[in-house]
C-alpha cells in the first residue's frame, strides 16, 4: 500500500511537471504573439494580409455581403476568393469593440488558434492514455515558430485550423455513435471548414477519412455486422465529405462568375487560370530542393536545411519510439499529404505550413510520449530531450521571426497619407509597380485600379476597365518600378486622365501624380 501511494505521488509529480511546462509554453506564446502588436500588417506576406484586411474594411464600410469587394482591380470591385467567414467575424468584432482594424484581425486570428487547442486535446485523448502526456503535444505546438508568428497575423489560417480540427472531432463522434444530430453538426462544420479555406480542408480530408473508417470498423467489430450498418456508414461518409465539397464547388463557380465580370481578373485569378498555381507540376514533386524548403517550412517555419537541422533527430526518435510508432508515421504521412497535392502553394507561401505543420508536431509528440512511457528513456526524455526540442523551436523563432515582428514596416505610410490628402474617399487611384498588392489601397483607404501588366493605354482590356468605372474618377496615379522613368508612358496617362504633369509627391521609389482638382483642394486646405 505504501508503494502504491509512492507511485501515485510520483505520477502527481510528473503531472505537475507537464502542467508547469504547458503553462510556461502558453505564457511564452502569448508574450511573443504581442510583440509588434501595434505595428502595420506589412511584415511577412503583406500581400495576403492586406488583401484580407481591405475586404474586411469594406465590409464594415458598405455592409456584410457574400460578393464582398476587394477593390484593387477596377470595377466591378468584387473578386471573391475564400468565403468571407473570417472577414465577417473580424468586421463584427471591430464594429462592436471599435478597436483598430489591424489589431482586430490579429486578435480574432490569435483567439481561434487558442480555441484550436481544445479539439486537438480531445483528439489526442483518443490515443494517449495519460492525460498529462497530451500536454507534451500542446507544448510543441505552442513552441513552434509556425504557430507563434502566423497565429497573430491578419489571415484566415487559424480559423481554418480550428474548423478543421473541430470537423475531425465531429467525424469521430459520428463514427463512434451515428445519429442525425451528430451528422448534421459534422456536416455544417465540414461545410464551414471547406468554405473558409479549401486548401486547409484538403490537408485534413485524409486524416478525417481514415479516422472515420477506423472508428466505423471498430464499431462493426463491437456490434453485429450487417449490410444495413455498412450502407448507413457509407451514406454518412458521403454526407460528411460530399456535401462540403459540393458546396465548395458551388462557391468556386459563384466566385469565378464574379471575377469574370472584371476584365482585369477574368483570365488571371479564376480557378481555371490558377490550376497550375495551386497544384504545381510533377517536376516540383520530384525536386529535392522543393521538398527541402517545403518540409523546412512545415517543421521549423523557416527555410533551413531540413535534413541537417531536424530530420536526423526526428528519425532517431522515431527509431526509439515503439508504442506510438504507427501513430507517428501516420501523422508524418498527413504532414506530407498537403504539399504532395498542392506543391506549388506550399513552395510559394510558407504560411501554408500552418495547416500541415501541425501533423509533423503531432508525429514528433508521439515519438516523445513513446519514450516517456518507456522506463528506460523516461527520465532522459523528460529532463533533456523534450526541453531541448522546445528550446530549439524557440531559438528558431528568435532568429527568424522575432526580428520581423519587432520591425515596424512604415514604408508606405508617407505615400498613403499623401494619397489620402490629395484624393476624396470615393476616388480611384491608378497604380503601377505594386503588382496587385492591396497594401497601398488598404492603408490609403481608396479603391484602386492596379495594372500589374503595364498595359498600353489603347489596349482593349484597359479601355474596357476605364469604361466600366463609369462615374468613378481616377484622380491620382502612383508609379513605381521601371515605368517611373518611361516618359511617354507617363505622358500618355497624364494627358488622357487629366492629371498634372509633375508629381505632387515623390520619394526614393515612387511618384504620385494627381488631378488638377486634387491639387486645388490641397492648396485650399493649406491656406
pLDDT at 301: 81
Separation of CA 169 from chain center: 21
The answer, yes or no, to whether residue 343 has pLDDT greater than 60, is yes
Name the residue with cell 464600410. 61
493 neighbors 473 (Cβ within 8 angstroms): no
With b for 16 or more beta-carbon neighbours within 10 A and e for fewer, the 395-421 pattern comes to ebbeebbbeebeeebebbeebbebbeb
Distances (CA, A) of 263 to 3, 239, 440, 463, 466: 78, 37, 21, 10, 10
pLDDT at 306: 57
Structure confidence by residue, pLDDT tens digits, 396-445: 999 999 999 999 999 999 999 999 999 999 999 999 999 999 999 999 99
489 neighbors 454 (Cβ within 8 angstroms): yes
The answer, yes or no, to whether residue 6 has pLDDT greater than 50, is no
Q: Rank 161-170, 173-182, 218-227, 287-296 by mean pLDDT and report only the highest.
A: 161-170
337 neighbors 210 (Cβ within 8 angstroms): no
Instruction: Determine how many CB atoms are found less than 10 A away from the CB of residue 223.
Output: 9
pLDDT at 133: 95
Instruction: Determine how many CB atoms are found less than 10 A away from the CB of residue 283.
Output: 9
* Phi-psi region at 45: left, alpha or beta (left = phi > 0; alpha = psi -120 to 50): left
Average pLDDT taken over every residue of the chain: 90
pLDDT at 210: 93
Mean pLDDT across 282-293: 91
pTM metric for this prediction: 0.92
Confidence band for 302, pLDDT divided at 50, 70 and 90 = confident
Least confident range of 11-15, 23-27, 250-254, 267-271: 11-15
pLDDT at 123: 97
pLDDT at 281: 94
Structure confidence by residue, pLDDT tens digits, 39-91: 999 999 999 999 999 999 999 999 999 999 999 999 999 999 999 999 999 99
Amino acid at each position: 500500500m505504501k508503494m502504491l501511494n509512492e507511485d501515485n505521488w510520483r505520477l502527481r509529480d510528473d503531472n505537475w511537471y507537464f502542467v508547469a511546462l504547458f503553462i510556461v509554453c502558453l505564457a511564452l506564446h502569448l508574450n511573443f504573439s504581442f510583440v509588434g502588436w501595434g505595428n502595420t500588417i506589412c511584415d511577412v506576406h503583406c500581400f495576403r494580409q492586406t488583401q484580407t484586411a481591405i475586404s474586411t474594411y469594406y465590409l464594415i464600410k458598405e455592409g456584410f455581403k457574400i460578393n464582398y469587394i476587394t477593390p484593387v482591380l477596377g470595377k466591378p470591385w468584387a473578386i471573391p476568393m475564400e468565403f468571407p467567414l473570417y472577414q465577417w467575424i473580424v468586421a463584427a468584432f471591430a464594429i462592436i469593440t471599435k478597436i483598430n482594424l489591424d489589431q482586430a484581425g490579429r486578435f480574432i486570428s490569435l483567439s481561434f488558434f487558442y480555441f484550436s487547442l481544445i479539439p486537438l486535446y480531445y483528439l489526442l485523448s483518443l490515443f494517449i492514455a495519460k492525460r498529462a502526456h497530451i500536454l507534451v503535444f500542446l507544448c510543441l505546438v505552442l513552441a513552434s515558430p509556425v504557430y507563434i508568428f502566423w497565429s497573430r497575423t491578419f489571415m484566415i489560417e487559424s480559423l481554418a485550423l480550428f474548423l478543421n480540427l473541430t470537423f475531425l472531432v465531429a467525424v469521430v463522434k459520428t463514427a463512434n455513435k451515428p445519429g442525425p444530430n451528430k451528422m448534421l453538426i459534422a456536416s455544417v462544420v465540414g461545410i464551414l471548414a471547406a468554405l473558409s479555406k479549401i486548401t486547409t480542408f484538403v490537408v485534413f480530408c485524409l486524416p478525417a477519412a481514415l479516422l472515420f473508417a477506423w472508428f466505423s470498423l471498430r464499431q462493426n467489430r463491437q456490434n453485429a455486422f450487417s449490410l444495413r450498418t455498412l450502407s448507413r456508414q457509407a451514406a454518412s461518409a458521403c454526407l460528411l465529405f460530399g456535401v462540403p465539397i459540393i458546396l465548395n464547388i458551388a462557391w468556386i463557380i459563384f466566385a469565378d462568375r464574379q471575377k469574370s465580370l472584371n476584365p482585369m481578373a477574368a483570365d488571371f485569378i479564376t480557378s481555371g487560370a490558377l490550376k497550375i498555381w495551386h497544384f504545381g507540376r510533377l517536376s516540383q514533386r520530384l525536386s529535392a530542393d522543393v521538398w527541402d524548403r517545403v518540409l523546412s517550412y512545415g517543421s521549423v517555419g523557416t527555410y533551413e536545411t531540413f535534413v541537417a537541422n531536424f530530420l536526423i533527430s526526428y528519425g532517431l526518435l522515431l527509431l526509439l519510439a515503439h508504442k506510438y510508432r504507427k501513430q507517428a508515421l501516420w501523422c508524418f504521412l498527413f504532414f506530407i499529404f498537403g504539399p504532395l497535392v498542392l506543391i506549388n502553394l506550399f513552395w510559394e507561401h510558407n504560411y501554408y505550413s500552418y495547416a500541415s505543420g501541425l501533423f509533423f508536431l503531432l508525429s514528433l509528440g508521439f515519438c516523445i510520449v513513446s519514450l516517456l512511457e518507456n522506463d528506460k528513456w523516461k527520465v532522459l526524455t523528460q529532463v533533456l530531450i523534450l526541453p531541448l526540442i522546445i528550446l530549439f523551436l524557440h531559438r528558431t523563432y528568435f532568429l527568424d521571426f522575432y526580428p520581423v515582428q519587432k520591425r515596424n514596416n512604415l514604408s508606405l505610410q508617407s505615400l498613403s497619407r499623401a494619397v489620402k490628402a490629395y484624393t476624396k474617399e470615393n476616388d480611384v487611384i491608378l497604380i503601377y509597380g505594386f503588382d496587385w498588392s492591396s497594401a497601398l489601397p488598404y492603408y490609403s483607404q481608396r479603391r484602386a485600379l492596379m495594372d500589374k501588366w503595364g498595359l498600353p493605354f489603347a489596349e482593349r482590356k484597359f479601355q474596357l476597365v476605364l469604361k466600366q468605372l463609369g462615374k468613378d474618377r481616377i484622380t491620382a496615379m502612383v508609379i513605381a518600378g521601371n515605368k517611373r522613368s518611361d516618359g511617354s508612358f507617363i505622358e500618355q496617362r497624364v494627358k488622357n486622365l487629366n492629371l498634372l504633369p509633375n508629381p505632387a509627391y515623390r520619394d526614393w521609389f515612387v511618384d504620385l501624380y494627381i488631378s488638377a482638382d486634387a491639387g486645388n483642394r490641397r492648396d485650399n486646405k493649406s491656406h
